[in-house]
Structure 1
């Protein structure tokens, strides 16, 4: 994130409320060829940008949980909040980011046969801190796994979340809609 890009983001954010969050930003130590130090520097700048603009932050974390936590402790979660996009950590990591005020984005992994850790987090986290997301075009929920994901499939994730929590689909849909409206200041 160079200064020109940061200025363009500030300009976009100032244009009539079209920008509802900063991100997706964060750290990816799994496949990224960008050195960790550069990723960390950019992440810190985007945290500061979100804080300065009073916008929530959408955080990507892959194989980088400890550094995400450390940077969030040092920089602080923006007052407007943060979403751990497509959350893939366990309940211990979930508890730490929830305690910092973050929301968790729940995606298709909760429908996968090997998605027990994701299901455990979906049962563990308070419903008022969950969002449902697709991560399209990736992570299509069962029975569409292996296909290109699309927004229409989000209902499968919502159905599975409702089942895991023993709640009616309508209650999960309403709660996650309210959460999205709150974090993205849509109402």
Structure 2
């Protein structure tokens, strides 16, 4: 059996309340043996240790998603960083994030940048990987990263071959999800085709980001195998090669705490 990890899945969201246990059991039967839940808001982090204890193979990250920054304000820098550090002491917490920048929200860029800098600073101090969200602010995100020695993944990568190279030149990994199943995503498909497999992680972002042909349906971690299959086709290699290398990539990034 091949083994897969969904490196970015919001399994804690209410969309899964009705069938979370049965779904995760079925995932395990299909070889999906691990899943990482991103942090989006301080109140949400408090629930994730319990969820990770309840379900074997489920891990989490602690971070403040740009969409939820406004709801979390005001924030004290030292308290925020201390809380992140305390969570990272939990064996089930394997990263900082989901954090980053988003051009499609009303929150001013300066406020987003301040919070992103905080994540980078604590991640660098702890040598913790970052799960990063970036929408239409890639130049700004790359400018911030010049100031830190951090490792991590660009979640839901959707961009050009050149943008992919800029990230991988920094040693960052790219999260590959359902976008590569869409024929219209030619630019991203080309970028992923030309990016070495050693820089890629599999993800679904479930319950969001449905695969092609599944518009309006709840996305599921079960679809990680379809993403992997599409990636294998894009690279003209076997599904086994994709599964094994992406597992190695994930282990290297998230499961080597110092």
TM-score, with length taken from structure 1: 0.92
**1:21 is matched with which residue?**
95
List, as ranges, runs of 4+ consecutive aligned residues in structure 1 with deviation greater than 2 Å: 1-6, 142-146
Q: Which structure is richer in relative contact order (CA contacts within 8 A, separation 6 or more)?
A: 2
SS at match of 1:60: strand
In the TM superposition, what is the alpha-carbon distance from 1:9 to its structure 2 partner? 1.2
Q: Which of 55-64 and 109-118 deviates more? A: 109-118
The answer to whether 1:76 aligns with 2:148 is: yes
In the TM superposition, what is the alpha-carbon distance from 1:54 to its structure 2 partner? 1.2
Which of 109, 131, 140 is the equivalent residue of 2:210? 140
The answer to whether 1:9 aligns with 2:87 is: no
In the TM superposition, what is the alpha-carbon distance from 1:156 to its structure 2 partner? 1.0
In the TM superposition, what is the alpha-carbon distance from 1:86 to its structure 2 partner? 0.6
Q: State the distance in 2 between where 1:2 and 1:53 align.
A: 19
**1:178 is matched with which residue?**
248
Q: State the distance in 2 between where 1:107 and 1:45 align.
A: 27
Q: Structure 2: which 5+ residue stretches go unaligned?
A: 1-74
The answer to whether 1:67 aligns with 2:140 is: yes
The answer to whether 1:126 aligns with 2:201 is: no
Q: For this pair of structures, how many residues does the alignment match?
A: 182
Asked which structure has the greater CA Rg, the reply is 2
**2:121 is matched with which residue?**
48
**1:39 is matched with which residue?**
112
Counterparts of 1:137-176 in structure 2, within 5 Å, are: 137-176=207-246
**2:26 is matched with which residue?**
none
The answer to whether 1:57 aligns with 2:130 is: yes
SS at match of 1:21: strand
In the TM superposition, what is the alpha-carbon distance from 1:88 to its structure 2 partner? 1.1
The answer to whether 1:117 aligns with 2:187 is: yes
Counterparts of 1:79-90 in structure 2, within 5 Å, are: 81-90=151-160
Q: Is the 8 A contact 1:77 1:100 kept in 2?
A: no
Q: Is the 8 A contact 1:142 1:156 kept in 2?
A: no
Q: State the distance in 2 between where 1:143 and 1:2 align.
A: 44
Q: Is the 8 A contact 2:161 2:192 kept in 1?
A: no
CA RMSD of aligned residues (A): 1.4
Distance 1:151 1:29, change over 3 A: same
SS at match of 1:171: helix
Q: Is the 8 A contact 2:123 2:130 kept in 1?
A: yes
Q: Is the 8 A contact 2:134 2:154 kept in 1?
A: yes
